[in-house]
Structure 1
Amino acid sequence: MGQHKAWADVRAEMMSRPGADVAYETARVCYELGKAVRLRRTELGTTQSELARRAGVERQEIARFEAGGTMPTIPMLQELAEALESRLTVRFEPRGQAN
């Protein structure tokens, strides 16, 4: 039977690969953006279908975005902000600062 590695070892091995840190950070940003949209949408009591209609996209695009599966463009974020009755803001935080 094959040997099993501890998750920490697997993660360390994966993160040591060239470009892994950039890919990880991109995935984190996608997740955080999707989470923010999902939270605001649910605050408003809006469905994915309704948000999609307001933003002029397909419901599946909203679902993928909320799951962190896609990186939207700035114009798309502006459309989503408008559809969510919100204002889009962007900020830079020093590294190591928790959200």
Structure 2
Amino acid sequence: MDERSSWAEMRAEVMARPGAGAAYEAARIRFELGAAVRGLREKAGLTQIELANRAGLKQPAVARLEAGGTMPTIPVLERIAEALGTRLSVEFRPLREAG
């Protein structure tokens, strides 16, 4: 069995694999979108079921989105934004400024 001396070394090994950086970035985006939706939902005082009903979704879909388990489409994000009384804003930023 291969011994590793630290988490940082193991992460570096995994990230060195082809496609790992892109997969990590996609997961980060899903997580951030989910956290943003959850924060807005909680601020509005809504349950997942209430948000789902307002957005024309099922509660499990909202739960998956909030957990970062799915990459929502722009139309779904627009429906969620409207259900939360907000406006969806999508922007492009130079890589050096991106999260």
TM-score by length of 2: 0.91
Cα RMSD (Å): 1.6
Aligned residue pair count: 99
Return the letter of the residue paired with 2:78. Answer: Q
Structure 1 14/44 Cα, relative in aligned 2: closer, same or farther at 3 Å?
Answer: same
Does the CA-based 8 Å contact 2:30-2:69 persist in structure 1?
yes
State the SS of the aligned residue for 1:70: coil
> In 2, distance between residues paired with 1:54 and 1:74?
17
Listed as ranges, the gaps of 5+ residues in structure 1 are none
1:38-89 Cα offsets, whole Å, 9 max, x none, are 1110110000000001111110110110011100011101111111111000
Match in the other structure for 2:8: 8
Shift of 1:94: 2.6
Residue 92 of structure 1 aligns with which residue? Answer: 92
Percent of aligned pairs with the same amino acid: 56
Q: What is the CA–CA distance in structure 2 between the aligned matches of 1:2 and 1:17, rounded to whole Å?
A: 17
Does the CA contact (< 8 Å) of 2:4 and 2:10 recur in 1?
A: no
How much has 1:27 moved relative to structure 2? 0.5
Q: Is 1:65 aligned to residue 68 of structure 2?
A: no
Match of 1:28 in 2: 28
Per-residue CA deviation, residues 19-45 of structure 1 (Å, 9 max, x unaligned), is 111101000100111111011101100
